[in-house]
Structures are given as C-alpha cells and as structure tokens.
Amino acid sequence: MPLTNQAFLHQATKALLVAFMSLLFFMPQLSLASNHQVAELAIKLELKQQSGEYHPPYVAAWIENDQKKSVRTLVLWRKKPKWLKDIRRWWRNVGRKDAELVDAITSATHAAGTFPLSFSAVDDAKKPIPLGDYTLYIEVVREKGARALIKKAFKLNKKTQQFTLKETAETGAIIFTINP
C-alpha cells in the first residue's frame, strides 16, 4: 500500500525528530568523553636487596586527593593478611575499611628487583580521576627490616610530568611519570 504525500511527510518528520533528539542526547556525552581523557601513571619501583635474613617486603602504593582521602590503591603486595596492618598509613586510611578492595587488588610479595608498573588514572570504582591536586604514597615494610613511607604531591593537569623520589633504606630511587 503506497504512502500518501501527507503520510510520507509525517513519517519523514518523525524520523528527523528522532535523529535530532538522539544527537542532542549523545553529543554532550561524546564531548565529555573527549574532555576526560584518562592520564597514564607509571612507577619504576626498585626494591633493594638486603643482607642477612631477608623477607620480601609488603608494599602498598596509592593516591590520595587534597582532602587526604584515598582515591585509588595502585599496588598491594603481601603474603599473609594478618600483617597488612603493618603497612600502617595505608591500613588506617584504606585497608581496614574495605576488605573487598583488599581482596581484589592483592598480589604476592616480590623479592629485590626493579618493577616497572603502569596504571590508568582512574579511581577504585574505575572512573577517571578529575584534574586537581593529589599525593602518591608508597609504603614499604619488611619483617625484621626497615619501614619506608614515600610521598610525592602532584597535580593531575593534562601535562607530562616526571618525578624522581629519593632512595630509602628499602628502595632505590623511584621514578614516577604522568602522561596525559
């Protein structure tokens, strides 16, 4: 059954209206997506070889916002869960409050060596971290060994940045890079 001119115009108008409304709905989301490109974070972590009785250290690395609230735990290397509380700062701010996160990100401890690590700048819920002021924390604790808490304030600001964090008794110099 052929369409009359009036019916054809009605259907064509309806189709154009649906297309126009779809563009209005999707364009802001596409624009937001392009404005929120996720930066890449890289950490070159060196764990020093220790003399005497050696136990691989427990390591936590995380990012806190300017209100000192953790937005992302990047690394959690541990052996036995009962010793997690020895990673004091991380445990007080994150670990004891979120057992599910601990289970999701935990991996085994590592012996001495250099570890190139990379991460997308997303929070623990996998949403992009907004531009702003943050602090990277790396906490290294070893049984019968030293403790190191390393921190570096940084701005997430769509600029490439590289920082060298000072050597400690447990770590060599750590390289922290942000690529927009």
Tokens of 4: 């009359």
Q: How many residues does the chain have?
A: 180
In percent, the amount of the chain with pLDDT more than 70 equals 80
DSSP class of residue 168 equals: -
Domain boundaries defined on the chain: 1-35, 40-179
Kindly state the DSSP code that residue 36 receives in the 8-state scheme. Answer: T
Q: pLDDT tens for residues 77-97?
A: 998 888 889 999 999 988 888
